[in-house]
Amino acid sequence: MKIIAVTNIKGGVGKTTTAVNLAFLSAAAGFATVLWDLDPQGAATYILRAEGGEGASAKKLVAGKRELPELLVPTAHPRLDVIPAHFSYRNFDVHLSTKKRPTERLLRMSGPLSEKYDVLFLDCPPGISLLSENVLRAADAVIVPMLPTPLSVRMLSQLNEFIGSQGWTDIVVLPFFSMVDRRKGLHEAVIASVREQQPSMLVTEIKYASEIERMTLRRAPLPAYAPKSAEGQAYSALWNEIAARIGMTTRLSEPARVDESAAPLVIS
């Protein structure tokens, strides 16, 4: 089972929309996929309509009193399930710190999922914490959406330095530019500079677009209800590039689509 983390030290960079859309596209490509919403705000859980799931506290998960397979919630999208967020996840670090080898707990907790799933996506909360160390320790690939700003570039340097200091040389870090507006001179300058200095940057860019913001109204992955839109095609290109980088081959010749009627516009 591939473990793909979508993370960023900063918030407000399009992390959850990225995780939801990539998880959907992974499932549409034929992979049995599960998204674990680790952010106590539960945005991914809300978008994928999984908030009715039972959930379990961070304390019970870390203690082994609940197992992740018990918490799975199916979505309306074939091959895509969710492990919903829980408000107690804000205290994940507290419970992890009480265990031996605390940076490996999440990897151990996710082990049973490999019996059913090909891919596990981790939608991570912002910040640097013991939970984020667990995520980095467990992940095969780390997807980093970043704004084209100097602070985002600094964040990426900090992340790479931390991973290097831990000796985690097997982690594939795949940053890409999110919420891009090339009408802004700063965005143009930062993108040009970073691409020259960071050859690992993904080629695909996700532009700032109101259609992406509407995901929280549609409560569905954007490629599910608008696959032919510029934004839907951009996320598809992003997924294809990531899959190629980590050696995943699409299993379906024609990715599954969800009819727009299955993802109505809902305001609640």
Which pLDDT does position 55 carry in this prediction?
75
For the chain, percent of residues with pLDDT exceeding 90: 68
Averaged pLDDT of the chain: 89
Instruction: Answer yes or no: is pLDDT of 35 > 50.
Output: yes
Which pLDDT does position 194 carry in this prediction?
92
CATH T-level topology, domain 2-248: Rossmann fold (3.40.50)
Instruction: Answer yes or no: is pLDDT of 258 > 70.
Output: no
Any residues with CB less than 8 A from the CB of 102 and at least 6 apart, and which?
96, 130, 134
Which pLDDT does position 251 carry in this prediction?
63
The domain locations on the chain are 2-248
Q: DSSP letter for 176, please.
A: E
Angle at 118 (CA atoms; ends 115, 120), nearest 5 degrees: 95
Which pLDDT does position 265 carry in this prediction?
38
Instruction: Answer yes or no: is pLDDT of 49 > 50.
Output: yes
Query: Can you tell me the distance from the alpha carbon of 33 to that of 44, in angstroms, rounded to the nearest whole number?
Result: 14
Q: Angle between the 185-197 and 150-166 helix axes, to the nearest 10 degrees? A: 30
Which pLDDT does position 255 carry in this prediction?
46
* Helical (H) or strand (E) element with 211: helix 210-213
